[in-house]
Chains A and B, each alone.
Chain A
Amino acid sequence: GTLYLTATHLIFVESSSNNSTSILHHHIASVEKLSLTTTGCPLVIQCRNFRVVHFVIQRERDCHDVYSSLLRLRQPVSYEELYAFSYNPKQNDQQREEGWQLIDLGAEFERMGVPCDQWQLTDVNRDYKVCETYPRDLYVPITASKPIIVGSSKFRSKGRFPVLTYFYQEKKAAVCRCSQPLSGFSARCLEDESMLQAISKANHNSRFVYVMDTRPKLNALANRAAGKGYENEDNYSNIRFQFVGIENIHVMRTSLQKLLEVTGTRSLSMSDYLVGLESSGWLRHIKAIVDAAIFLTKAVTGEGASVLVHCSDGWDRTAQVCSLGSLLMDPYYRTIKGFMVLIEKDWISFGHKFADRCDQLDGDPKEVSPIFTQFLECVWQLTEQFPQSFEFSEWFLLQIHEHVHSCQYGNFLGNNQRQREELQLRDRTHSLWAFLMSEKQNYLNPFYSPAFSELHPVLEPSTLPYHFKFWRNMYHQFDRSMHPRQSILKTILTLRENSRNGESMLQALENVSALTELQQLGVTPVATSEPPAPPPTRDQRSNDGQEEVGEEAIEGTDTERTVEGSSATESRKQRYGELEGTYNSELAKEEPAVVSLEFGVARMTC
């Protein structure tokens, strides 16, 4: 086939079938040139969405050209080079604006019941003066005055003082987040102590507040030498301090690397796979995060206590634990819209450093870490235990993961809100949430039952180790040969679609038959037979918006399936293409006429 390089994509078109594969430059994690073989020069590209592609290019010089171009293209130096700034889905400004308005965090806090008699909105960070990595709007206890806030922020790493992130209305218990205190070996700060006191007082259900340090104790101790550290229980009245032992970004990065090394091995034996899975530690880390979230949930929903969560800077482990905990406590976050809100709140607005962690620009490789990927995986592990509790399916998680790295939408660009405002992302890029919302149908979980959530608002997952599984559909997204050749999810979704068509078809037929009856008998039609009552647990909304009526709608809806696996065309790991010398330097400057939206998910399961 032929390989094309455009400003944004690498496109490979198979000469025999005209099938094409396109890879966003931003998705390329690494490019490697292997030693020359008889057929040509092999080029291995590893992507951030865990796709691995092999090309064989006949002439070494071409290969080198491609190689060096990709090296340059995959890592832009300035934000303006990112795809989001050139991506144009043919929307007008109003639609773009509406897309950005889809998620409103002010409304989200209102939904939680904040502000209320104990919690208020503070304007202390209106100009990002107190903490530049926090959003402008922050919620604090009524009794926390400005001097207390400012004082507390000076005692916290990066000025990230304790603020509200989730309010459990039923028990008036709060989940707050911050960074580590600058306590060193003995330093204390009265304002910070008052701040925690204020958080404690805002909750009448509990006499104390939990302080969860999500780090292993050893790490926290080591931080003391650098003038940081953790809260001394003697200095803070009414706190209960707890370490939960989630490892840092460097450990997580290495862990994923090890995992991918193992799973990328050819003809891997079962034993090596399991040993590798264990020694990578990946599932152990995932379990640690879920364990922490469960601890948080139990404290809040069980004991009605407020909890303050922090790690070092309060933007990695803290984000994981707060968001996952909220998801366990509040069914809203398990809906499609709610999940967007959750990510917007705990990750985007509170300054998880997406640019650094996802390596958006040419930066420090030591800052890169799969923290957000881990969060998505934790959610996936929960969906496996509670198949009826989530409105969205795995495809939704995979699609979000895809776009966190694609830099196609503005949402995840930059490291914090302030930076995003400076980049004027709202005016210059599009919002992923609007796009996902428009494709909502694709991401629905057919087994979702709002009634189930009403019965079990708080999820209590088991964390026995065998409940944590390797997420094949994430880490082997593109290795089709490994996936089930028939997907239950897809089959059921198709059936649901059929049912919807059937319902409207029935309606239409009944109208016609009523009409003919009328003509024949000259009598007023009696109530026609109702379509069979949908099963009570079904989501009623699915009946809406059906206009397709036609013979084909019913007859042509057989589930599309390719059964006999071994699709030679798509075995991505072994895709050897040949460059036919058509690598065109002019093409490199052209914008592709049709932007192929990567929807790896749809291709994955057939």
Chain B
Amino acid sequence: MEFAELIKTPRVDGVVLHRPFMPTVEGTLCLTGHHLILSSRQDNTEELWLLHSNIDSIEKRFVGSLGSIIVKCKDLRVIQLDIPGMEECLNIASSIEALSTLDSVSLMYPFFYRPMFEVIEDGWNSFLPEDAFKDLESMTDEWRLSEVNKDFSVCPSYPALVAVPKDVNDDTLRKVATFRHSGRFPILSYYHKKNGMVMMRAGQPLTGTNGRRCKEDEKLINATLRPGKRGYIIDTRTINVAQQAKARGGGFESEANYPQWRRIHKAIERANILQESLIKLVEACNDQSHSMDRWLSKLEASNWQTHVKEILTTACLAAQCIDREGASVLVHGTDGTDSTLQVTSLAQIILDPACRTIRGFQSLVEREWLQAGHPFQQRCAQSAYSNSKPRQEAPVFLLFLDCVWQILRQFPCSFEFSESLLVLLFEHAYASQFGTFLGNSAAERTKLSLPEKTVSLWSWVNRPQELERLTNPLYEANSLVIWPSVAPQSLLLWEGVFLRWNRSSKCLDEAYEEMVHIIEYNKELQNKVNSLRRQLAQELQKER
């Protein structure tokens, strides 16, 4: 298929662009296979380059012969294009609609994008499972890297290499895989160096209504316990939801068969409910009425903040079991690809200072989200403005980022990265020129030959210019466990994402720059003092 077939009108002059808090721009609108471009053809004026894949939905409005297209983007931005001429407007609208809803992955922009920057380090090789395992090996010899899933046949959503207890062989793993949802047998997620405790994750056990059991499964997870120690199973679902899952063949670990484990149920909502929540939240944020009551009741009704609180609370619980109780933890929900990952990844942010560095955080996203098989393509196909009925869409990853932001707000000096990195990841998860978030699992990414055919987001991020922009100037390495407060009064609305386009951030940006100034000035000064002092000491020595 040629893109040209979809582009009915490639170019319209005299189009006016309206964006909130920015002056309007008049110029020429061009449609290409992957971009909507508006250029004023003047120097010094900003052009608009919008990926079609970033467009969530459009609306058309007509006043006389003047048509307007309101473009609602996945990054929550809303812009308006005034297009002279009814026919042009309709053509543009239908072209955008067609181009922004392409079904085939291989037509996506990442397959056409060629980097305009020098790739210093190929991001596709930056965070390989074998490298992560080398770190683990330096701490413990109780784990091994299994190739049982080499051809993705045991568990289609797992990577080719997974870390499992040393004493458990591949045959056992295969058996366990048949007992766990989507073949997601328990694997290592995190090793807590301080006390040797571990966090594992899996899919739900397929106990069904008649309480099926699997000796190998019990053996596998018991192998991670120290003699005489108990572990915790954190089921991210409420007990009711977990009970209901039995009817569909799922279930949870019974006390009788897992006597060494204490099971705790939490209440992280399922995907479709989260999507609904996002839509309501964004709707509330875009409400321009000046009523305080209306805002607060809409914010409440969206339940977004409730989800944030619940996820953070569960992550804190997991972290507490490991660090405070000195117990190992197994986390699962239903599939083990959504709420499970939110919990395991956030717990690591709390426990492991390495995850709070820029590189460590990338590695965390790679390990606990991309490799772990979070179905990005399904979840991020549409965002809050979509008119179509949601299928698999859900802001699971966005909620994770929101939770990270909450912790960042509470420990503003303990993260090497700033809010910008979180916003960047949100944007690229939904629409990107890079291949990183394409596909739903490691298997799909291999099949699509993404490493060969597309550029990795990490290649872009890990360059000095970009790193500088993403660095938190306040950062000072903090080796401690950081416990966030989950009181409702401590959790804030993530303005940087949800109000980003609804407010003028000029004053806040300027204050931020001032802060950077103060920090840099201080550094510069300290350096001068130190070098002068050294110099002086040398001179004094010479004199003697």
Chain B residues contacting A37 (CB-CB under 8 Å) are none
Contact code string B523-544 (vs A, CB < 8 Å = 1, else 0): 0111011001101100110010
**CA of A470 to CA of B292, assembled, Å:** 12
Q: Which residues of A contact B518 (CB under 8 A)?
A: 446, 492, 495-496, 499, 535, 538
Asked if B247 is an interface residue, CB under 8 A from chain A, the answer is: no
- Contact status B510-A388, CB under 8 Å: yes
The residue from A447, A481, A483 contacting B511, defined by CB atoms under 8 A apart = A447
Nearest chain B CB to A469 CB, angstrom units: 7
Tell whether, in the assembled complex, residue B521 and residue A388 are in contact, meaning their CB atoms are under 8 Å apart.
no
A488 at the interface (CB under 8 A from B): yes
Once the chains bind, are B529 and A506 in contact (CB under 8 Å)?
yes
Q: B132 an interface residue at 8 Å Cβ cutoff?
A: no
Q: Which residue of B lies closest to A495 (CB)?
A: B522
Chain B residues with CB under 8 A of A449: 510, 514
Per-residue interface assignment for chain A, residues 354 to 393, with 1 indicating a CB less than 8 Å from any chain B CB and 0 otherwise: 0000000000000000000000000000000111110000
Which residues from chain B contact A466 at a C-beta distance below 8 Å? 285, 295, 299, 493, 495, 499, 502
Contact of B300 among A274, A386, A465, A565 (CB under 8 A): A274
Question: B463-493: contact bitstring with A at CB < 8 Å (1 yes, 0 no)?
Answer: 0000000000010101011110101111111
Q: A263 contacts the other chain (Cβ, under 8 Å)? A: yes
B540 touches A516 (CB 8 A): yes
A537 at the interface (CB under 8 A from B): yes
B514-A447 in contact (CB<8A): yes
Judge whether A467 and B503 touch: CB under 8 Å. yes
Interfacial chain B residues near A487, Cβ < 8 Å = 412
Complex-state Cα separation, A447 to B532, whole angstroms = 29
Query: Using Cβ atoms and an 8 Å threshold, which residues of chain B touch A263?
Result: 489
Contacts A472-B490, A498-B526, A563-B411; A274 near B305 (Cβ below 8 A): yes
Q: Is B306 among interface residues, defined by CB-CB distance under 8 A?
A: yes
Residue in A273, A452, A462, A563 whose beta carbon sits within 8 Å of that of B510 in the complex: A452
Would you call B511 and A510 a contact (CB within 8 A)? no
How near does chain B come to A298, taking the closest CB pair, in angstroms? 15
Q: Smallest distance from the beta carbon of B399 to chain A beta carbons, Å?
A: 13
Residues of B within 8 Å of A273, CB to CB, are: 488-489
Cβ-based interface call for B94 (8 A): no
In whole angstroms, what is the CA distance A532 to B519 when docked? Answer: 13
B: contact size bracket:
35 or more
CB–CB A464/B290 < 8 A: yes
B162 to chain A, nearest CB (A): 33
Q: Let me know if A554 and B411 touch, CB within 8 A.
A: no
Report the minimum CB–CB distance from B393 to chain A (whole Å): 23
**Closest chain A residue to B324, Cβ basis:** A566
Partner of A465 from the list B291, B411, B525 (CB cut-off 8 Å) is: B291
State whether B296 touches A488 (Cβ < 8 A): no
Give every chain A residue within 8 A of B515 (Cβ-Cβ): 446-447, 488, 492
Are A565 and B521 touching (Cβ within 8 A)? Answer: no
Interface segment out of the listed A133-141, A195-203, A223-231, A276-284: A276-284
Whether A593 is near chain B, meaning CB under 8 Å from some CB there, is: no
Q: Tell yes or no: B11 within 8 A of A by CB.
A: no
Min Cβ gap B159→A in Å is 34
B72 part of interface (Cβ distance < 8 Å) = no
The B interface, classified by DSSP as helix, strand, loop or mixed, is helix
Residue in contact with B295 in the complex, picked from A446, A447, A465, CB distance below 8 Å: A465
What is the minimal beta-carbon distance from B324 to any residue of chain A, in angstroms? 10
Contact of A564 among B290, B482, B521, B539 (CB under 8 A): B482
Within 8 Å of chain A (Cβ to Cβ): is B414? yes
User: For the complex, is B507 an interface residue (Cβ under 8 Å from A)?
Assistant: yes
Once the chains bind, are B507 and A269 in contact (CB under 8 Å)? no
Among candidates B295, B489, B504, B535, residue contacting A513 with C-beta atoms closer than 8 Å: B535
B487 in contact with A482 (CB, 8 Å): yes
On whether A565 and B409 interact (CB within 8 A), knowing A387-B507, A538-B521, the answer reads no
Q: Does B413 contact A (CB under 8 A)?
A: yes
A385 smallest CB distance to B (angstroms)? 7
B288 lies within 8 A of A464 (CB): yes
The complex places the Cα of A130 from the Cα of B522 at a distance, in Å, of: 58
**B525 adjacent to A499 (CB under 8 Å):** yes
CB of B41 within 8 A of chain A? no
Cβ of B120 under 8 Å from chain A: no
B181 within 8 A of A: no
Residues in B whose Cβ lies below 8 Å from that of A566 = 483
Contact with B along A469-511 (1 / 0, CB 8 A): 1101000100001111111100110011011001101100110
Cβ-based interface call for A520 (8 A): yes
B300 touches A278 (CB 8 A): yes
In angstroms, Cα B295 to Cα A465, docked, is: 6
A485 touches B482 (CB 8 A): yes
Question: For B483, what are the chain A residues with a Cβ–Cβ distance below 8 Å?
Answer: 485, 564-566
Whether, in the assembled complex, B377 has its beta carbon less than 8 Å from a beta carbon of chain A, the answer is no
A563 adjacent to B296 (CB under 8 Å): no
Bound: A385/B506 CA distance, A: 10
Residues of B within 8 A of A424 (CB): none
Closest CB in chain A relative to B520 CB, distance in Å:
8
Q: Is A271 located at the chain interface by the 8 A CB criterion?
A: yes
Does B32 interact with chain A (Cβ within 8 Å)?
Answer: no
A187 within 8 A of B: no
Any A CB within 8 A of the CB of B303: yes
Distance in angstroms between the alpha carbons of A449 and B512 in the assembled complex: 12
B74 within 8 A of A: no
Contact partner of A484 (CB less than 8 A), chosen from B303, B410, B526, B532, is B410
A465 touching B290, Cβ below 8 Å: yes
Residues of A within 8 A of B411 (CB): 484-486, 563
**Would you give the 0/1 interface string for A270-294, flagging 1 where the beta carbon is closer than 8 Å to chain B?**
1111110110010110010001000
A302 at the interface (CB under 8 A from B): no
Do B528 and A283 touch (CB < 8 A)? Answer: no
- Given A388-B510, A510-B532, A531-B528, A274:B517 Cβ within 8 A: no
Nearest to B498 among chain A residues (CB) is: A466
Q: Are B309 and A270 in contact (CB under 8 A)?
A: yes
Let me know if A512 is at the binding interface, CB within 8 A.
Answer: yes
B42 within 8 A of A: no
Is B43 on the interface with A (CB-CB < 8 A)? no
A280 to chain B, nearest CB (A): 10
Q: A484-B412, A509-B529 are in contact. Are A271 and B517 (CB under 8 A)?
A: no
Instruction: Check: A525 CB closer than 8 A to any chain B CB.
Output: no
A531 to B528, CA, bound (A): 8
B-chain residues with CB within 8 Å of residue A446 when the two chains form the complex: 514-515, 518
Shortest Cβ gap from B323 to chain A (Å): 10
Would A268 and B487 be within 8 Å (CB), given that A502-B525, A502-B529 are in contact?
Answer: yes
Q: B60: CB under 8 A from chain A?
A: no
| Assembled-state Cα–Cα distance A520/B541 (Å) | 13
A561 at the B interface (CB under 8 A): yes
Mask of A257-273 contacts with B, CB within 8 angstroms, 1/0: 00000010000111111
Q: What are the residues of chain B within 8 A of A332 when measuring CB–CB? A: none
* B517 near A538: Cβ-Cβ < 8 Å: yes
Closest to A277 in B: B296
Q: Is B297 an interface residue (CB 8 A)?
A: yes
CB neighbours (8 Å) of B116 from chain A are none
A:435-476 near B, CB below 8 Å = 446-447, 449, 452, 462-470, 472, 476
Interface residues of B in 276-291 (CB under 8 A from A): 285, 288, 290-291
Contact A468 B292 (CB under 8 A): yes
Whether B481 lies near A564 (C-beta < 8 A) is yes
What are 6 A-B pairs at a CB distance below 8 A? Answer: A483-B485, A492-B518, A495-B518, A498-B522, A502-B525, A506-B529
- Residues of chain A at the chain B interface (Cβ within 8 Å): 263, 268-275, 277-278, 281, 283-284, 287, 291, 385-389, 446-447, 449, 452, 462-470, 472, 476, 481-488, 491-492, 495-496, 498-499, 502-503, 505-506, 509-510, 512-513, 516, 520, 531-532, 534-535, 537-538, 554, 559, 561, 563-566
13 new A-B contacts, CB < 8 A, other than A269-B309, A464-B288, are: A270-B305, A270-B488, A273-B488, A273-B489, A275-B297, A386-B507, A462-B504, A476-B489, A482-B490, A513-B536, A531-B525, A532-B524, A563-B482
Q: Which 7 A-B pairs have the closest CB atoms?
A: A465-B295, A273-B488, A274-B300, A278-B296, A387-B511, A502-B525, A284-B292
